[in-house]
Amino acid sequence: MTHQKLLSAEQAAKLLITGNKALKFRHYGEAIQALEEFYQGTDAGFKDYYQAQMWLVKAYKGNEQLEKAIALCQQLTNSEQEVTQIWAKQFISTLLPANYSAIESTSQQPEEKINDGKITKKSLNEFKIFCQENLLDDLKELESVRKQTILSVSFVSIVIFIIFCLLVKLFPLEYLIFCFVNQVPLPYFLIFLFLLGFLGCLWGWIAFYTSAIETYTEGFKSKIIQKIFDFINTNKSLNYSSYASEADNEYTLSAFIHSQIFQALLKPNRIQQQECIFGQVNETPIFFSEISTEVELQHRWIKYLTFSQHLKMLRSMMVPPFVVRIVFGFLLPLYSILLVIKLVKSIPYIIVRILRGEQISYRHFDEEIMRNEVSRRTVFKGLFFQADFNKKISGKTIVLPNLLNTNIHALNQNKENLVKLEDPEFSQYFTVYGDDQIEARYVLSTNLMAKLVQFRRKARKNIYVSFVQNMIYIAVEYADDIFEPKLFKKMLSFAPMREYFENIHLMLDIVEDLNLNRHIWGKD
């Protein structure tokens, strides 16, 4: 392929999102068109340049253009990126045998060329046997690492706690009270040093805790979650990924906003996406992932209140050192107050995550608390599902949990009309809004409402549904990370494995539970 004039960053990002979306829903021709245009109009300096080529190889394969897929894959084996080289060398082996077997079996089994996406459902007893035969060794290894992690975290916690207690004991509280009562100037420099010590203890503990949890969880998804997914994915019509590129995140965030379920005053501008499953179930293209969407606000003003910024500014003005010391002494009360605020913010942040046995993101702690550069508010956390609804509709219909249970960000901000449906059981769980009363009743048939009630009871979580254009979006709220191991839960117990198994099955069952694969939903 010859490279044409380079695309702008905005054009490239748009093509990448289009190609990625088309690939996820197996619209291979559309994916090839977008990704080829991206490839021809970019170079290695563009972000996700090699990722786009990997997607293009997959699109070629899906579109049965095996010669192009093999040629591009061979080219990627000589890529500048080692990760891309490894991927290409592994993926090319799936192209050659696939090509050979397709030719060999054409006369015998032509129907296998098209996969209907029907998944044979596995029972819980079958899954128990699978765990004993395939996961037990890995789980024993993880359990050993978990115990070592608890011991090391406990030891470091005790050491830091002792240091923290010593600082508290040495803190001159009585002297500060004396200064305050007798109107003697407070020793702000001493206060500042003690506050730095307290924050230093917390910072050191979080750095260690984060590192220890990362060591424990490393390889968990490839060893456990991937195997559970492969066990469920009986006909190989689905794909699993524990990594999300920037283009993946942009695509999912745009779909989340397009769903119009969560219409807060401030739209989410940040997304964390973890597990992603996409492909076909019963001939219906689906995509779902574990996400957390947030509104992120930048604190651009904070730099004017920090010591480092003040010092940099004074040095740029060639201010003598003694003046710097005077300014520092004058601003010590401000610095001390800021440290107190950081200390107060950090304690609940840490305690909540420890009690849940969850990983603490050091980067988030540093940005949100230590440097106070941003504030983030979670809009939605849980599983987000999208699929072709395949019924052409002009308006939108949004199904929310009733007012007592609903997420505040999902309240009817756009003042859509309330749709009253004559189904008391459905109304017990859901409230419906839409811009077309007739269309809302047409979409929410009696059968579909019964299916949504059934699905809500099975999930035992808040369920949000929207029908927009030819798409159906479903959001299932979770308070915790779904596919992350918990530090204080035994890995040799079947309970967490059952939870992972049921969470994946829950989303795959949506297509069957809601009859999304029925021909009644064909486009007009």
Give pLDDT tens digits for 373-382: 788 888 899 9
Phi (first) and psi of residue 374, to 5 degrees: -140, 160
Q: Which of 116-120, 378-382, 481-485 has the lowest mean pLDDT?
A: 116-120
- Counting Cβ atoms within 10 Å, is residue 158 exposed (0-12), middle (13-18) or buried (19+)? exposed
Identify the bridge partners of residue 434 per DSSP, sorted by sequence position. 397, 417
Please list the residue range(s) of the chain that carry CATH number 1.25.40.10: 9-108
Question: For the chain, what is the mean pLDDT?
Answer: 78
d(CA 377, CA 388): 30
Q: Is 32:41 a contact under the CB 8 Å cutoff?
A: no
| Model confidence at 191: pLDDT above 50 | yes
Express each pLDDT in 222-239 by its tens digit. Answer: 788 888 888 888 877 788
The HSE-up count of residue 231 (CA atoms within 13 Å, CB side) is 27
Residues 357-371: what's their mean pLDDT? Answer: 73
Quick: pLDDT tens for 321-355: 777 777 777 777 777 777 778 777 777 777 777 77
Cα–Cα distance for residue pair 35/1, rounded to 1 Å? 12
Confidence of residue 76 (pLDDT cuts 50, 70, 90): confident
**pLDDT, tens digit (0-9, with 9 covering 90-100), for 391-438:** 677 788 999 988 665 656 555 555 568 888 888 889 888 989 888 888
By the 10 Å C-beta count (0-12 exposed, 13-18 middle, 19+ buried), 6 is classed as middle
Residue 408 contacts residue 371 (beta carbons within 8 Å): no
The letter for the amino acid at 207 is A
What is the pLDDT confidence band of residue 106, given thresholds at 50, 70 and 90?
very low
Is the pLDDT at 364 greater than 70, yes or no? yes
Query: How far is residue 51's CA from residue 84's CA, in Å, rounded to a whole number?
Result: 8
Q: What percent of the chain has pLDDT over 70?
A: 85
pTM (2 d.p.) = 0.70
CB of 274 within 8 A of CB of 423?
no
**Lowest mean pLDDT segment, chosen from 3-17, 127-141, 444-458:** 3-17
Bridge partners, residue 288, by sequence: 277, 385
- The contacts of residue 495 (CB under 8 Å, 6+ apart) are 489
- Please give the single-letter amino acid code of residue 88: A
pLDDT grade, residue 384 (50/70/90)?
Answer: very high
pLDDT at 159: 92
Ramachandran angles phi, psi of 297, nearest 5°: -115, 125
pLDDT confidence of 117, banded at 50, 70, 90? low
DSSP 3-state of 389:
coil
Closest CA to 406 of 238, 261, 191: 261
The mean-pLDDT minimum among 25-39, 83-97, 229-243, 267-281 falls in 83-97
Identify the CATH number of the domain defined by range 9-108.
Answer: 1.25.40.10
* Distant-in-sequence contacts of 332-337, Cβ < 8 A, 24+ apart: 332/188, 332/189, 332/191, 332/192, 333/186, 333/188, 334/305, 335/192, 335/307, 336/188, 336/191, 336/192, 336/195
Q: What pLDDT is stored for residue 155 in this prediction? A: 92
pLDDT > 60? residue 3: no
pLDDT of residue 100: 39
113: which 2 tokens?
Answer: 């060329």
